[in-house]
């Protein structure tokens, strides 16, 4: 291939793209990262990051920079309905850095990771929109871009698509699949002077609705509301919809009784994504571009960062064997994420039945061993397989 602009081209500067780029640059590869926005930029997100995220960021070498900003360090999440609740607590074991989460605004988090990538030697070009993949002989050899009203082609030996929920690269390759369930809309805003949200976050569940309250440092709390995609009335202003649905959750109303919204309301939907495959000749997908599930369990950023580690390994193998298709990457992702995804789908099933959800919460409060296992799975620091075993499920659900 002649006229290369980079050895590896990464489309997207969010956590998945920045981490993949940083890892490859650390290993000596020439990496060009293209990002359509200018950082720091806002991103709709619950901003509640699991202990598993902390573990990956530490391996990446960026944890010190994040902790220097003094983010919130939540030790768990209280989950429940108007009638009952359960406190998900992470196993601290004398190591608060390793077994507390992170609460941090996404503009700050993403900016730190992108600056870390720059520090590793990644060439970053902002305000450059990736329009789609560039194909030759059935192989991806670069991308089509537009920047400052000028369209151009950028070529590389390998392309990493980390361009999000509405990936232009995946769409241009015909990889998107329809999502029938769950189809939900997410809205987020930050508030100050929120009552009772400090060391723990909260998740309030109602009828086809839930809302997370996550401390993000500096006395600010992220309020993330998720409801059915069709529940917003035609012509209803987003502020009115946001307030109307929050009012359906008494615990949220109480927490926000003296609070003040300090940002605009941002939304994203549908909160799910499926693709035909995550890799092919000359390319792979990572982060939300590779698939996304309704974020009740908050695993999106963890999947992005852990996926970046898997992606970096796969790209190295592909560069060493350019005629091979990186099919081992898909298998690595299944091994890393499939069991947790089944747990997430199981929880989504519980959410469809408020009576069953409350029954499960009561059982968790009575069964410490089961609760500890589930907390570790949800915190992304223990494997999900024990939570799928028939014995575990029987212990959880039996009267």
Rounded to two decimals, the pTM is 0.93
Residue 96's pLDDT is: 46
Residue 218's pLDDT is: 92
Residue pair 53/101 in contact (Cβ under 8 Å)? The answer is yes
Q: Report how far Cα 257 is from the mean position of its chain's Cα atoms.
A: 29
Residue 93's pLDDT is: 57
Residue pair 81/357 in contact (Cβ under 8 Å)? The answer is yes
pLDDT digits (tens, 9 = 90+) for 294-310: 666 667 899 999 999 99
Q: C-alpha angle 301/334/325, rounded to 5°?
A: 105
Buried b (16+ CB within 10 A) or exposed e, 196-207: ebeebbbbbbbe
Residue 39's pLDDT is: 95
Give the three-class secondary structure for 129. strand
DSSP secondary structure, 159-202, as one string: EEE---TT-HHHHHTT-EE---S--EEEEEEEEES-TT-SSSEE
pLDDT digits (tens, 9 = 90+) for 265-275: 998 877 778 89
Residue 326's pLDDT is: 80
Residue 2's pLDDT is: 47
pLDDT band at residue 144 using 50, 70 and 90 as cut-offs: very high
pLDDT digits (tens, 9 = 90+) for 363-391: 999 998 898 898 888 888 889 999 999 99
Residue 148's pLDDT is: 79
- pLDDT above 90 covers a percentage of the chain that reads 68
307 versus 399: which is more confidently predicted? Answer: 307
Q: Residue 55, CB half-sphere, CA atoms under 13 Å: how many?
A: 14
142 versus 179: which is more confidently predicted? Answer: 142
Report the range out of 42-51, 117-126, 291-300 with the highest average pLDDT.
Answer: 117-126
Closest CA to 191 of 158, 169, 218, 164: 218
pLDDT band at residue 341 using 50, 70 and 90 as cut-offs: confident
Residue pair 33/156 in contact (Cβ under 8 Å)? The answer is no
Residue 298's pLDDT is: 64
pLDDT digits (tens, 9 = 90+) for 121-132: 999 999 999 999
pLDDT exceeds cutoff 90 at 92: no
pLDDT digits (tens, 9 = 90+) for 99-108: 889 999 999 9
Residues 6 or more apart whose CB falls under 8 angstroms from that of 221 comprise: 190, 191, 192, 194, 197, 213, 214, 215, 259
- pLDDT above 70 covers a percentage of the chain that reads 95
pLDDT band at residue 1 using 50, 70 and 90 as cut-offs: very low
pLDDT exceeds cutoff 60 at 90: yes
Alpha helices in the chain (DSSP H): 15-26, 51-60, 63-67, 96-99, 106-119, 168-172, 238-246, 250-255, 300-320, 327-351, 354-366, 368-378, 390-397
Residue pair 18/117 in contact (Cβ under 8 Å)? The answer is yes
Residues 6 or more apart whose CB falls under 8 angstroms from that of 386 comprise: 373, 377, 392
Residue 174's pLDDT is: 96
Residue 97's pLDDT is: 46
């Amino acid at each position: 291939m002649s006229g290369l602009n980079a050895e590896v081209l990464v489309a997207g500067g969010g956590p998945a793209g920045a981490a993949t780029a940083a890892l490859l640059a650390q290993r000596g590869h020439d990496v060009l990262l293209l990002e359509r926005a200018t950082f720091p930029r806002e991103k709709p997100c619950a901003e509640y990051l699991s202990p598993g995220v902390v573990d990956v960021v530490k391996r990446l070498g960026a944890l010190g920079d994040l902790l220097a900003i003094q983010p919130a360090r939540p030790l768990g999440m209280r989950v429940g309905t108007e009638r009952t609740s359960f406190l998900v607590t992470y196993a601290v074991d004398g190591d608060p850095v390793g077994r507390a989460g992170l609460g941090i605004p996404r503009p700050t988090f993403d900016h730190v990771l992108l600056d870390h990538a720059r520090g590793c030697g990644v060439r970053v070009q902002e305000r450059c929109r990736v329009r789609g993949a560039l194909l030759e002989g059935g192989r991806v050899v670069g991308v089509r871009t537009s920047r400052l009203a000028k369209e151009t082609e950028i070529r590389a030996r390998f392309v990493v698509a980390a361009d999000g929920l509405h990936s232009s690269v995946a769409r241009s390759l015909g990889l998107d699949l329809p999502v029938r369930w769950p189809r939900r809309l997410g809205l987020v805003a930050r508030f100050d002077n929120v009552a009772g949200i400090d060391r723990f976050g909260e998740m309030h569940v109602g009828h086809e609705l839930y809302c997370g309250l996550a401390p993000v440092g500096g006395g600010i709390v992220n309020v993330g509301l998720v409801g059915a995609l069709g529940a917003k009335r035609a012509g209803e202003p987003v502020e009115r919809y946001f307030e109307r649905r929050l009012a359906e959750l008494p615990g949220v109303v109480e927490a926000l009784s003296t609070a003040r919204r300090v940002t605009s309301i941002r939304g994203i939907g549908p909160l799910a994504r499926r693709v035909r495959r995550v890799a092919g000749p000359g390319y792979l997908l990572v982060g939300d571009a590779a698939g996304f599930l309704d974020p009740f369990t908050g695993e999106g950023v963890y999947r992005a960062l852990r996926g970046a580690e898997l992606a970096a390994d796969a790209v190295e193998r592909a560069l060493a064997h350019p005629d091979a298709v990186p099919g081992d990457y898909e298998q690595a992702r299944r091994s890393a994420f499939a069991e947790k995804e089944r747990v997430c789908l199981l929880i989504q099933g519980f959410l469809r039945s408020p009576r069953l959800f409350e029954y499960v919460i009561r059982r968790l409060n009575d069964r410490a061993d089961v609760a500890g296992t589930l907390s570790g799975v949800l915190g992304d620091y223990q494997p999900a397989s024990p939570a799928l075993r028939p014995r575990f499920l029987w212990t959880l659900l039996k009267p």
